[in-house]
Amino acid sequence: MAHDEHAAPTVPTHQEIASDIMAKFQNINQSYWRWVSLLAVLFAAGVVGFVIKLMAGFDDRSEWGYYVATLSFLASTFLAMPVISAGLRLAKANWRRPLTRLTENMAITGVLIWFMLIPALIALPDTEGRLSVWFDFPHWMSFRGGNLMVWGTVVLIGLFLLWTLALPDLAAVRDHMPKSPRGKVARVLSLGWTGNTRQWRVLHSGVLLFGAFYLLLYPTLQTLLQADFQAGLLPGMKDAIAPATALINALQGAVAMTLVVMFIMRRFGGYERYFGIDQFWALSKPLLAFSLLWFYFWWGSFITFWYGRQPGETALIQFLILDSYRIPLIFSFLFNFIGPLVALVWNPVRRSIWGPTIVGVGVLFGALINHIRWYVAPFSVLDPPEGKDWPHVATLMSFEDAIPAGQLPGIADVLIIVGGIAGAFLLFMLINKIIPVVSMWEVGEGLRLVKVRRYLARYAMVIAKSH
């Protein structure tokens, strides 16, 4: 909501906002169908790539490295977005109101992600004789069942969180378009919401409960990703900070994705009055903070290995940092750290629409490259020879003559990356026409708490803080 300092700023009423958002929600125009078709085509291409991989089978694990990298990128960007909304809600930041529904709608991508997890788990070798957090639990089932359960719970809780927070808006849709198919769906989903005090109390309790669980379980998901798909396949890889690094990078990706999606909604969806300078400026600060933390967490891991100088550690540094995957690391360094630092340090860049968006695009690109480095590398490590256990305190060279070289993507890999991202966006676009992408009730609530007052020589926004 833009302000002109010389005139009294106007605060729209919540009825105005509600009708505006509802109008955008109702209107499914050509532009929308063009986007959906494009994404569907790209997703289909991704499915083709996936089928090619299926035909290659699961014997050669290195075929699945890029697939797992895509899966991890999706889980780390899209599924981290509800964490952003939960965190901002916890901090009671008023500027969050227009963008929370956008981040929560992203929880729908969890459905695609969970199904994508299944082949990834098949591609992993059994934990017998191998390092794992499952500590000799029944081998074939433990990590497969455990992962499916944890990821599934995260996805489900994300969906419940989304549903709970969407109830008032679903009721509005039900009331506004009762005859249309979407209205009928909304009637079922809105669970008879009428907006009385008891229902609001239940909503807030539900948000607290689901939000807290999501905040607790999402780091667990990242821990399992790092432990099972990365560290467990790299001999001698003992990196306690890796799950925390993955979490911080996921949050960076989520903030970047939020910025990029807000920009797209402004440009193509006409949502300029909701995703304004306040939102971009406010999100640019966590983006800068997470970019600095990107380097900080990476350094913590690197410096420990570097000083340790044990053969296993030096081999891993050669593999992941200095030699085989040096190029991806340089790209991530530039796009996830140097670029954001140099750009976002300047307030004029932060306080603009373009600045944080461009940085966000760079961050997403760098994040994808980083996930490729994290997961293609371990998947390209060979199995130990027959009869030998996976070595614990050994080096990559224990059962190979040399450190594996960097693995470039094949056609199928590229199709999977493009298709995976397109599939996630496709689901997002579809859900936006079931649940409005801007939360009418939250923005409305915010507007009710805001008044404009004359303050000394100017005007100020007075924001009520309720407990």
Partner 1 sequence: MATQIKSQSLTDRSESFKWSMVIDLDRCTGCEACVIACQAENNVPVNESSAFTEGRAIEWIRVERYWEGEWPDIKARFIPVLCQHCENAPCEPVCPVYATYHNNDGLNVQIYNRCVGTRYCGNNCPYHARSFNYWEPVWPVDLRHQLNPDVTVRSRGVMEKCSMCVQRIRRNTRSKTPRQVPDGSFDPACVQACPTSAMTFGNLNDPESKVSKLQNDERSYHMFEHLGTAPTVMYLKQVDTHGA
Partner 2 sequence: MYYRRTLTEAQINQQLLGTVLTTPLWWIVLVSLLGIVIAGVVGVVAWMFNQGLGVTGLRQPVFWGFFITNFIFWVGISHAGVMISAILRLSQAEWRRPMVRAAETMTVFALMASLTMPLVHAGRPWRIFYWVFPYDWARGIWPDVRSPLVWDPIAITTYLTSSMLFVYTALIPDLAIIRDRSTGWRKSVYGVLSLGWHGNPRQWKLQGFAGILLSALILPVFVSVHSIVSWDFSVSLVPSWHVTIFAPYFVIGAVHSGVSAVVTLMIIMRKLYKLENFIWEEHIDALARLLIVVAMAWMFLFWLDLVFALWLKEEQEITVWMLRMFEPPWSWLFFLFFMFSFVIPVPLWMFRRVRRSFTWMLWTSLIVNIGMFLERFLIIVPALMRKGPQTFTYATYRPSPVEFTIIFGTIALVCFFLLVFSKFFPLIPLWEIKEGQLLIDEVKVGNARVPALVKEH
Q: How far is the C-alpha of 256 from the C-alpha of 192, rounded, in Å?
A: 36
Please return the burial class of 189, using the count of CB atoms within 10 Å of its CB with bins 0-12, 13-18 and 19+. middle
Nearest residue to 439 (alpha-carbon basis) of 84, 97, 80: 97
Answer with the entry of partner 1, partner 2, none that 429 interacts with (C-beta below 5 to 8 A by kind). Answer: none
Q: Which is nearer to partner 2, 34 or 392 (CB)?
A: 392
Please return the burial class of 256, using the count of CB atoms within 10 Å of its CB with bins 0-12, 13-18 and 19+. buried
Alpha helix positions (H), 270-353? 277-308, 311-317, 326-333, 339-344, 347-350
Answer with the entry of partner 1, partner 2, none that 146 interacts with (C-beta below 5 to 8 A by kind). Answer: none
Report 434-453 residues binding partner 2 (CB under 8 A).
Answer: 448-451, 453
Report 370-399 residues binding partner 1 (CB under 8 A).
Answer: 393
Instruction: Kindly state whether residue 465 participates in binding partner 2, applying the rule CB under 8 A.
Output: yes
Q: How far is the C-alpha of 245 from the C-alpha of 45, rounded, in Å?
A: 32
Answer with the entry of partner 1, partner 2, none that 292 interacts with (C-beta below 5 to 8 A by kind). Answer: partner 2
Answer with the entry of partner 1, partner 2, none that 355 interacts with (C-beta below 5 to 8 A by kind). Answer: none
SS3 212: helix
Q: How far is the C-alpha of 67 from the C-alpha of 237, rounded, in Å?
A: 22
Q: Which is nearer to partner 2, 131 or 321 (CB)?
A: 131
Q: Which is nearer to partner 1, 129 or 308 (CB)?
A: 308
Binder of partner 2 out of 184, 204, 388, 392 (CB under 8 A): 392
Nearest residue to 171 (alpha-carbon basis) of 22, 16, 14: 22
Q: Which is nearer to partner 2, 131 or 257 (CB)?
A: 131
Angle CA 92–97–100, to nearest 5: 100
Q: How far is the C-alpha of 18 from the C-alpha of 24, rounded, in Å?
A: 10
Two structure tokens written together for 136: 């000799």
Query: How many other CB atoms are found less than 10 A from the CB of residue 349?
Result: 17
Instruction: Kindly state whether residue 461 participates in binding partner 2, applying the rule CB under 8 A.
Output: yes
Give me the phi and psi of 433, to 5 degrees please.
Answer: -95, 5
Site string for partner 2, 206-225 (x = CB under 8 A): ----------x--x---x--
Query: What are the CA-CA distances from residue 340 to residues 112, 292, 348, 360 (Å)?
Result: 30, 8, 14, 8
Name all contacts of 396-399 with Cβ < 8 Å and 24+ positions apart. 396/234, 396/235, 396/236, 396/312, 396/315, 396/316, 396/319, 397/311, 397/315, 398/235
| Bridge partner list, 452 | 461
Q: Give the relative orientation of helices 139-176 and 14-26 as an angle to the nearest 10 degrees.
A: 110
Least distance from C-beta 219 to partner 2, angstroms? 6
Query: How many other CB atoms are found less than 10 A from the CB of residue 437?
Result: 24
Least distance from C-beta 93 to partner 2, angstroms? 8
SS3 404: coil
Write the single-letter amino acid at 327.
Answer: I
Q: Which residue has the tokens 């050509």?
A: 30
Site string for partner 2, 3-42 (x = CB under 8 A): x---------------------------------------
Answer with the entry of partner 1, partner 2, none that 314 interacts with (C-beta below 5 to 8 A by kind). Answer: partner 1
Least distance from C-beta 218 to partner 2, angstroms? 11
Binder of partner 2 out of 239, 255, 261, 426 (CB under 8 A): 239
Site string for partner 2, 61-90 (x = CB under 8 A): -----------------------------x
Least distance from C-beta 375 to partner 2, angstroms? 18
Two structure tokens written together for 357: 């968006």
Q: Which stretch binds partner 2 (CB under 8 A): 159-167, 181-189, 240-248, 374-382?
A: 240-248
Q: Which is nearer to partner 1, 267 or 392 (CB)?
A: 392
Two structure tokens written together for 383: 């199995």
Answer with the entry of partner 1, partner 2, none that 131 interacts with (C-beta below 5 to 8 A by kind). Answer: partner 2
Number of residues that bind partner 1 (CB under 8 A): 8
Q: Which is nearer to partner 2, 95 or 160 (CB)?
A: 95
Answer with the entry of partner 2, partner 1, none that 311 interacts with (C-beta below 5 to 8 A by kind). Answer: partner 1
Site string for partner 2, 294-333 (x = CB under 8 A): --xx--xx-xxxxxx-------------------------
Site string for partner 1, 283-322 (x = CB under 8 A): ------------------------xxxxx-xx--------
Q: Yes or no: say if 345 and 288 are a contact pair by the CB < 8 Å rule.
A: yes
| Residue ranges in contact with partner 2 by CB under 8 A | 3, 90-91, 93-94, 131, 133, 216, 219, 223, 227, 231, 236, 238-244, 285, 289, 292-293, 296-297, 300-301, 303-308, 392-393, 448-451, 453, 455, 460-466
| Residue ranges in contact with partner 1 by CB under 8 A | 307-311, 313-314, 393
